[in-house]
Structure 1
């Protein structure tokens, strides 16, 4: 269950590649195919030889679906008629030991856990000569994704999330991290009197910790679905149980608000959002969500694993307590009534994760020399909202206190603060670490507001804050260079020659690049550009560098997103790139829809494909594999979105001896290398 073995150079197949490390088996997972969907599915062109076959005690009745590594069939017991789902690994993968072990890893992981909220796998065996298969329970119900798209009642959502927590707790205790938790992998069935009984699916890419230190085996491996991936997954760092809790927080947010916290944009925007942005709290999006429940969700979505819940069981307890607890956060008032003299100060919100106990006294004043008065600042309380003017007190290089009696941003959310001295503005990011309500402020003889801790500050910004705290102006901005930097100019000139409109050329990628390669090359390219940015550039050089950065980001976004890349590759007759997108988990209906548009825009393409594919079949019948492959490539160039043609080509290519792809290594700037043999 370690890191998947890389594909041999030159070997490419839409049936064995998962280039973006997502679950490419969405095509065929049995719970995702309801009887209605099966009824609407087109009939296969060729009779499946497995239909009617008896495997153990079960007769295979019909095919439920197919996907990246295999097919799933409905099996019925020959005597008592009970139903199971039988998952077969594609036969031509049997010779690849790494893929066989990856296929069987799901059975081992599920068997190790053994929990009622995780799909059961009853058997694993081999059908002669080499058809590996798993026998698992057949589920009748619907995936949790059927409930997304509109806000659900908290009374419905919390019991579902609690069951998922139970499943994750059992997995984590046994050292198994799911790593690809999403609504499609959570199935709801009716069980006894429970209308929404949870079954967690697809532990096929789960990671056994085995006592290995975090990051040792998973460093550099990015596995998951972008909309639900934790920051540590995006960074290729080690994962643990808190990674699954982040994904569950995203799912909870989506169920309670009817939308994902960061939308469904390209990889570039999702990467930035998961690493840097803090969405509006669920109760701010949907007023029906209790504030306490909203805070539980936001804590699960914390950027740093150590700021999330320590375990799934702790998150379950917090969810249930938040649902049953009365609203404890009062609506802020303009003038707070003075408390009774004998009454103790009201408790602060439970922000003990920051090291501040709920009963802590009022925050002490800084020892730094106080400014002559409050500092007026502009604060953006949530992304996408207008800035408000607040007064800042207790400023230091570490944090500040912002005075307000209005609505405060949630704990652990991030706000943008702009100081506006006479010389030049200074913008900083701060994380909210404490609230002081009007009632608490009155009891402590201080002002209401919230405390923030500065994050990601440069040394220059920290020095400027110290000067502001002492009542001085920050140091003036360094003057812009008036002449071009010679070293930067040489690098920019070299890069400018490679700024092609073709995103593959721009990122120095082969036409069959994996999605991981796209991300790595884009990161390397942007890193190279950032290194140039540290030099004393002229205004012209700065603008040119900014344009280059924008073009690299757009290229990475286009090639890093399967639904965008497949259309780009198809229109440019890049059938190898199309194969990469097919293997990423796009549905057959999506691809057929794109193909219809493609054929409409390319009259005669289908006729050319038939001529070449017929010739290829003739050569294949004569065992002339090289000639058959050449004709298949011509057919795919004409009709690259033809799924059956793609399958025939790559299956034949795997049976032959593929020629290794040319080495793309070079000696130039990493991520912006020139590719041998390509222009």
Structure 2
């Protein structure tokens, strides 16, 4: 799918689009098309009443009429999954639904910026401090999804939006959870038999082998993105998608420092660990990867942002337990000198008795 802000050149945009100027579900007036993709179109729209600009993703009519239930399921999954996520680095879903005449839509925040893919195409390899800050934000967004039992499965530069903010010139928004999968059980595969879902250049080896996705799957994809940000190109660039998939499954990437000598050794170690073929050899979680990124940053004098501590809600039993523990610690501190003194006196008395 196209992104909430941009006009991709892959698919032409019709100026006579029948949805332009139409009000969807009584509250979203479509202003103009932004782009088209395999699942549908994205429009710039205005939410009436609030006068708020939104990006409106609309499922193609040929898919929404029930002829391809898998695409409808993916579309609805993206809406419901992303709507439950609240991380500042994840795109915000305002609303989703289906109109009376069968149009599926998702209303999301309208973003002005460029994708990480566009940045890499324009500027090539990024300085280590900059790429660490970008990767840190992506990992934090993915970590929240993992805590909700979700794996993105399609982390790639074109699914990362970079916005200019006063305090962060590369403020990250992670997009497109259309391939997200519940790894804690319950949700089946959305692909037809033998079909790959995802992007070959960033696909983890276990997905190539049709094995289940886990949080380490996203760790691998982010490792590939780190490699590309550091080296200016992906680790595998074969001529066909199938060849790229096979390389992800079995070939070792060229060490980043052999591609670009100015890459810090600490960063190279993080990249290669994240890209291990066996998921068990990678970082076990985004928490572990975040710690590794912070370690690499500290070796370069770069401090990475961390999540603020979450407030802890205590029940009455929790408070009572803390009060009991506090009282015990208070009396332990008060009585410790007396107890030690009595123990010393007893030991002295025992020693004198032996002498007598």
Shared fold (TM-score greater than 0.5)? yes
What is the alpha-carbon distance in structure 2 between the residues aligned to residue 103 and residue 326 of structure 1? 42
Which residue, out of 187, 191, 197, partners 2:171? 197
Which residue, out of 57, 69, 93, partners 1:87? 57
What is the alpha-carbon distance in structure 2 between the residues aligned to residue 277 and residue 310 of structure 1? 22
What is the alpha-carbon distance in structure 2 between the residues aligned to residue 213 and residue 306 of structure 1? 23
* Aligned residue number for residue 324 of structure 1: 298
What is the alpha-carbon distance in structure 2 between the residues aligned to residue 130 and residue 218 of structure 1? 24
Alignment of 1:428-439 (within 5 A): none
Give yes or no for contact 2:256–2:268 (8 Å, CA) kept in 1: yes
Which residue, out of 48, 62, 65, partners 2:17? 48
Once the two structures are superposed, residues 526-573 of structure 1 have per-residue CA deviations (whole angstroms, 9 ceiling, x without a partner) of xxxxxxxxxxxxxxxxxxxxxxxxxxxxxxxxxxxxxxxxxxxxxxxx
What is the alpha-carbon distance in structure 1 between the residues aligned to residue 200 and residue 35 of structure 2? 24
Count of matched residue pairs:
295
Q: Give 3-state SS (helix, strand or coil) of 1:224's partner.
A: coil
Give yes or no for contact 1:281–1:294 (8 Å, CA) kept in 2: yes
Which residue, out of 90, 105, 108, partners 2:80? 108
Once the two structures are superposed, residues 386-421 of structure 1 have per-residue CA deviations (whole angstroms, 9 ceiling, x without a partner) of xxxxxxxxxxxxxxxxxxxxxxxxxxxxxxxxxxxx
Task: Give how far 1:172 is off.
Answer: 0.9
Q: Give 3-state SS (helix, strand or coil) of 2:125's partner.
A: coil
Alignment of 1:316-395 (within 5 A): 316-325=290-299
Task: Give how far 1:286 is off.
Answer: 1.6
Q: Give 3-state SS (helix, strand or coil) of 2:107's partner.
A: strand
CA RMSD of aligned residues (A): 2.7
Q: Give 3-state SS (helix, strand or coil) of 1:30's partner.
A: coil
Task: Give how far 1:272 is off.
Answer: 3.4
Which residue, out of 304, 314, 320, partners 2:288? 314
Which residue, out of 138, 145, 151, partners 1:164? 138
* Aligned residue number for residue 251 of structure 1: 225
What is the alpha-carbon distance in structure 1 between the residues aligned to residue 80 and residue 111 of structure 2? 20
Q: 1:81–1:95: structure 2 CA closer, same or farther, 3 Å change rule?
A: closer
What is the alpha-carbon distance in structure 2 between the residues aligned to residue 219 and residue 99 of structure 1? 14
Q: 1:103–1:213: structure 2 CA closer, same or farther, 3 Å change rule?
A: closer
Give yes or no for contact 1:219–1:236 (8 Å, CA) kept in 2: no
What is the alpha-carbon distance in structure 2 between the residues aligned to residue 257 and residue 77 of structure 1? 42
Task: Give how far 1:43 is off.
Answer: 6.5
Alignment of 1:137-286 (within 5 A): 137-149=109-121, 150-211=124-185, 222-286=196-260
Alignment of 1:212-611 (within 5 A): 222-325=196-299
Once the two structures are superposed, residues 94-125 of structure 1 have per-residue CA deviations (whole angstroms, 9 ceiling, x without a partner) of 33244322211101111232211111111112
* Aligned residue number for residue 369 of structure 1: none
Once the two structures are superposed, residues 22-73 of structure 1 have per-residue CA deviations (whole angstroms, 9 ceiling, x without a partner) of xxx2xx3333428xx79xx97736x222211223433211111222222211
Which residue, out of 122, 136, 139, partners 2:94? 122
What is the alpha-carbon distance in structure 2 between the residues aligned to residue 191 and residue 138 of structure 1? 15
What is the alpha-carbon distance in structure 2 between the residues aligned to residue 302 and residue 161 of structure 1? 18
* Aligned residue number for residue 42 of structure 2: 72
What is the alpha-carbon distance in structure 2 between the residues aligned to residue 255 and residue 249 of structure 1? 10
Q: 1:153–1:136: structure 2 CA closer, same or farther, 3 Å change rule?
A: same
Give yes or no for contact 1:218–1:239 (8 Å, CA) kept in 2: no
What is the alpha-carbon distance in structure 1 between the residues aligned to residue 199 and residue 40 of structure 2? 20
Task: Give how far 1:160 is off.
Answer: 0.4
Where do 5+ consecutive residues of structure 1 fail to align? 1-24, 328-679
Residue 105 of structure 2 corresponds to residue 133 of structure 1: yes
Give yes or no for contact 1:220–1:235 (8 Å, CA) kept in 2: no
Task: Give how far 1:291 is off.
Answer: 0.3
Task: Give how far 1:148 is off.
Answer: 2.0
TM normalised by structure 2 equals 0.76
Task: Give how far 1:219 is off.
Answer: 9.7
What is the alpha-carbon distance in structure 2 between the residues aligned to residue 273 and residue 250 of structure 1? 13
Task: Give how far 1:199 is off.
Answer: 0.7
What is the alpha-carbon distance in structure 1 between the residues aligned to residue 300 and residue 155 of structure 2? 31
Once the two structures are superposed, residues 297-333 of structure 1 have per-residue CA deviations (whole angstroms, 9 ceiling, x without a partner) of 0000001000000111210111121122269xxxxxx
Q: Give 3-state SS (helix, strand or coil) of 1:237's partner.
A: coil
Give yes or no for contact 2:27–2:47 (8 Å, CA) kept in 1: yes
Give yes or no for contact 2:59–2:105 (8 Å, CA) kept in 1: yes
Task: Give how far 1:244 is off.
Answer: 0.9
Once the two structures are superposed, residues 177-231 of structure 1 have per-residue CA deviations (whole angstroms, 9 ceiling, x without a partner) of 111111101111123411111111111111112436999x999663211111111
TM normalised by structure 1 equals 0.41
What is the alpha-carbon distance in structure 1 between the residues aligned to residue 139 and residue 218 of structure 2? 10
Task: Give how far 1:264 is off.
Answer: 4.0
Task: Give how far 1:287 is off.
Answer: 2.1
Where do 5+ consecutive residues of structure 2 fail to align? 302-356
Give yes or no for contact 1:121–1:136 (8 Å, CA) kept in 2: yes
Q: Give 3-state SS (helix, strand or coil) of 1:194's partner.
A: coil
Give yes or no for contact 2:138–2:174 (8 Å, CA) kept in 1: yes
